[in-house]
């Protein structure tokens, strides 16, 4: 789903280059991945929201419409 979002790769690239971490390469990689994970989680909730709640609403609405058509 993220990969289909317009500008996703560019956004990740911007975040990645904005992180300033000093140390051994393995330490830098680990820290940048942690920071990227936090940014991705925040971005996901802002853009997509809680999908399980949205899915439940759609399923409930579909069930209500099916019930109406049965009458």
The pLDDT of residue 51 is 72
- pLDDT for 70 beyond 70: no
| Band of pLDDT at residue 40, cut at 50, 70 and 90 | very high
Average pLDDT value for residue range 33-38: 98
**C-alpha separations of 24 from 6, 15, 27, 32, 43 in Å:** 34, 20, 5, 12, 28
Please say whether the beta carbons of 22 and 28 come within 8 A: yes
Across the chain, mean pLDDT equals 84
């Amino acid at each position: 789903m993220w990969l289909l979002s317009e500008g996703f790769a560019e956004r990740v690239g911007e975040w990645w280059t904005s992180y300033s971490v000093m140390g051994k390469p393995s330490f830098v990689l680990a820290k940048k991945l942690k920071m990227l994970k936090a940014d991705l989680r925040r971005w996901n909730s802002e853009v997509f929201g809680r999908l399980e709640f949205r899915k439940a609403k759609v399923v409930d609405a579909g069930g209500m419409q099916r019930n109406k058509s049965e009458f």
